[in-house]
């Protein structure tokens, strides 16, 4: 049995002083650890009527791709502004200073799709909230959001649950 939390590297003061960065590349590099997280993210959603999996750039692509493969579903890349080559729809969200934007291809979601949103970590929830709003505007129902890591002190999980989105996380780290 692989302990997920022990496979996640913590890097102090990255990207700036006072931040404890939770690095999942060590978990992804461990075959058993990677398999365990994908299995856990898949098992809870198998047979739930999901029609597509959406992954938030960039680590959400790795996890979402693996989960969509295991569930035999299509994958929607949720990208930062200007990274997709065709017609897009987007959603702006607030940062500490300024705003950012996530986008999907205009034809990535069909009205009535039931989407599972995936990323590696939920912190303040700003990016995930923007992705949920984007999926909903495109006509999809977001049936859940799954993350490896929750930083509960930053309130992202509560923010998504306040939008009516069921949230699954595999481990928690206190602080930021």
Residue 22 annotated among the catalytic residues of the structure: no
Spatial separation of the C-alpha atoms in residues 126 and 93, rounded to whole Å: 6
40: annotated active-site residue = no
Q: Which of 59, 79, 157, 159 is catalytic?
A: 59
Tokens representing residue 103 in the block: 């986008």
7 contacts 32 by C-beta, under 8 angstroms? no
Structure tokens at 138: 């495109």
* Residue 111: closest CA among 143, 138, 134, 87: 138
Cβ-based neighbour number of residue 53 at 10 Å: 27
Instruction: Identify the burial level of 80 via C-beta atoms within 10 angstroms of its C-beta, where 0-12 means exposed, 13-18 middle and 19 or more buried.
Output: middle
Catalytic site residue from 9, 57, 87, 96: 96
Q: How far apart are CA 100 and CA 92, in angstroms?
A: 6
- 96 sits in the region (left: phi over 0; alpha: psi -120 to 50; else beta) called alpha
Active site residues: 59, 96
């Amino acid at each position: 049995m692989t302990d997920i939390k022990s496979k996640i590297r913590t890097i102090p003061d990255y990207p700036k002083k006072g931040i404890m960065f939770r690095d999942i590349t060590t978990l992804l590099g461990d075959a058993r650890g990677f398999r365990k997280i994908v299995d856990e993210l898949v098992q809870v959603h198998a047979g739930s009527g999901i029609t597509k999996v959406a992954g938030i750039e960039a680590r959400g692509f790795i996890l979402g791709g693996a989960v969509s493969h295991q569930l035999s579903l299509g994958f929607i890349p949720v990208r930062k502004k200007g990274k997709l080559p065709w017609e897009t729809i987007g959603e702006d969200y607030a940062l500490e200073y300024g705003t950012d934007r996530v986008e999907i291809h205009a034809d990535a979601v069909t009205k009535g799709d039931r989407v599972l949103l995936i990323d590696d970590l939920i912190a303040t929830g700003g990016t995930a909230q923007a992705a949920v709003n984007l999926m909903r505007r495109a006509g999809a129902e977001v049936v859940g959001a799954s993350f490896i890591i929750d930083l509960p002190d930053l309130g992202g999980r509560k923010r998504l649950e306040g939008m009516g989105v069921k949230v699954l996380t595999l481990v928690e780290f206190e602080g930021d």
